[in-house]
A = this chain, B = another copy of it.
Amino acid sequence: MRLDEIAALVGGRLDGPPDVEITGVAALEAALPGTITFVADQARASELAATQAAAAIVGEDVSAAGLPVVRAAQPYAAFVRVVEVLHPRARPAAGRHPSAVVAPTAEVPADAHVGPHVVVGEGVRLGARAVLHAGACLYDDVGAGGDFTMHAGAVVREGTRIGHRVVVHAGAVVGSDGFGYLPTGDLPRPIPQIGIVRLEDDVEIGANAAVDRAALGVTVIGRGTKIDDLVMVAHGCAVGEACLLAGQVGLAGGTRLGRGVMLGGQVGSAGHLAIGDGAMVAAKSGISGDLAAGGVYGGIPAQPIQRWRRAVSAAGRVSSLLRRVRRLERALGAAADDDES
């Protein structure tokens, strides 16, 4: 691809010769000759002088030290567009591997890729261009829209409803039984988990994640929501659209997330609470109550992040406070008879 074609692709402004040939993309620190890299802001622009890249996509005001550049208002988005075009992911060929076991009542379109050792249960209906990698397993009565992708070893349990363009990564489990027990009697008694999971359009479920079916009703992952590896979504959660749940997040049963909620890695939430639209929660936080829309939260328990930062900072000053109070008490002759335990 020529540099002027890239400029046209991303709607950017070319600053250099139009006929530079670009064969791939690369990170700034590891760029090979012939590649295009990118620099979003001036801070790293000095590294462009040393790069082997043939060109760069840069922000509009970044000085580029003689390297041919394409300037764009949103340089990272422009770069992503170039990656998509220069490095398209190959779609596995249509066809059904002879070792796959597809139930007679399943509807699998002819353009689907069904890999080795895939299992498709009774009554499953898959949309166009489904891709089931090796060993993917669909229990009975799963329905999925177009362009559904399951990676190796992923499991979708019975009755799950799946929208268009959904991706379930390797080892993920969708629709396992929720964790519900009655504490009565000698041993915990399982509460039947007869609900389902619904994954709406454009949802992505990360590797080895687990999304449990509802006890009654539906566990919902909203349209466009992306779930990272090793995340757990418990029974009966309702996750809104366009949320981002980073690695190892855990949502207890019945948690409700609004639109565009962002949870950092290892965040945990207690169950049966509501997190408002656009709320952001810092990594490792523990959510123990409702969070208002639009807020930024952190800590265990999660609180407005400025408050949490103050509390963390203040915690480091308690030793000093103790000394100062002791001095004041001595100055006042106060009896130090307080119980400090």
Chain A: residues with CB nearer than 8 A to chain B? 25-27, 30, 74, 76-77, 80, 83-84, 87, 89, 97, 99, 101, 115-117, 119, 133-135, 137, 139, 151-153, 155, 157, 169-173, 176-177, 179, 181-182, 184, 186-192, 194, 202, 204, 206-210, 212, 216-217, 223-224, 226, 228-230, 232, 234, 241-242, 244, 246-248, 250, 252, 265-266, 268, 270, 283-284, 286, 300-301, 307, 310-312, 314-325, 327-329, 331-332, 334, 338-341
Chain B residues lying within 8 Å of A270, measured Cβ to Cβ, are: 283
Chain B residues lying within 8 Å of A307, measured Cβ to Cβ, are: 316
CA distance A30 to B319 in the complex (A): 47
Task: Give A339 Cβ to nearest chain B Cβ, in Å.
Answer: 7
* Residue of B74, B135, B246 touching A137 (CB-CB under 8 A): B135
CA distance A153 to B339 in the complex (A): 57
A252, closest chain B residue (CB):
B265
CA distance A74 to B209 in the complex (A): 35
* Residue of B99, B172, B217, B250 touching A247 (CB-CB under 8 A): B250
Chain B residues lying within 8 Å of A83, measured Cβ to Cβ, are: 191-192, 194, 216
CA distance A173 to B265 in the complex (A): 18
Using A153-B171, A173-B170, A176-B206 as known contacts, say yes or no to A268 and B268 having CB atoms under 8 A apart.
Answer: no
Question: Quick check: A119 and B119 within 8 Å, CB to CB?
Answer: no
Question: Quick check: B325 and A324 within 8 Å, CB to CB?
Answer: yes
Question: Quick check: A25 and B318 within 8 Å, CB to CB?
Answer: no
Chain B residues lying within 8 Å of A242, measured Cβ to Cβ, are: 186-188
CA distance A171 to B252 in the complex (A): 20
CA distance A74 to B169 in the complex (A): 42
Using A247-B234, A318-B314, A340-B320 as known contacts, say yes or no to A192 and B286 having CB atoms under 8 A apart.
Answer: no
Task: Give A142 Cβ to nearest chain B Cβ, in Å.
Answer: 12
CA distance A327 to B337 in the complex (A): 11
Chain B residues lying within 8 Å of A300, measured Cβ to Cβ, are: 284, 300
CA distance A186 to B248 in the complex (A): 25
CA distance A265 to B339 in the complex (A): 34
Q: 8 closest pairs, A vs B, by CB? A: A187-B224, A314-B318, A176-B207, A210-B229, A101-B116, A119-B134, A173-B207, A284-B286
CA distance A74 to B341 in the complex (A): 41
Chain B residues lying within 8 Å of A182, measured Cβ to Cβ, are: 76-77, 80
CA distance A196 to B128 in the complex (A): 29
Task: Give A26 Cβ to nearest chain B Cβ, in Å.
Answer: 6
Using A83-B194, A230-B230 as known contacts, say yes or no to A171 and B187 having CB atoms under 8 A apart.
Answer: no
Task: Give A314 Cβ to nearest chain B Cβ, in Å.
Answer: 3
Task: Give A134 Cβ to nearest chain B Cβ, in Å.
Answer: 4
